[in-house]
Amino acid sequence: MGQVLQVPRNALKKLDLIDESLRQVARRIVALLERNDLDEMEREILQSYHKRFWLTDWQLQLLSAIERMHGNGNAI
């Protein structure tokens, strides 16, 4: 408790776990989740997507379809 670990800088690796395109997808998902007009299935799908670190092309197409159904202008 209260200990400080000292690690040489050259022993560290830079990890870019989330690239910009995934950040953009996450913003789209959050924007939809903030809506009150989603049905239960849409909300469950989006909540499961929000926890992922990658999405398939099919999942991105489903995200775009949900956006179009709810009049979101960010749909691809």
**What is the DSSP track for 6-29?**
---GGG------S-HHHHHHHHHH
Q: What is the pTM of this model?
A: 0.65
Phi then psi for residue 51, to 5 deg, are -90, -5
Per-residue pLDDT of the chain (76 residues; tens, 9 = 90+): 577 878 788 777 665 556 778 888 889 999 999 999 999 999 999 999 988 877 888 899 999 999 999 986 554 4
Q: What's the pLDDT at 35?
A: 92
Q: What's the pLDDT at 16?
A: 56
Report which DSSP code applies to 73: T
Using only C-alpha atoms, the chain has a radius of gyration, in whole angstroms, of 18
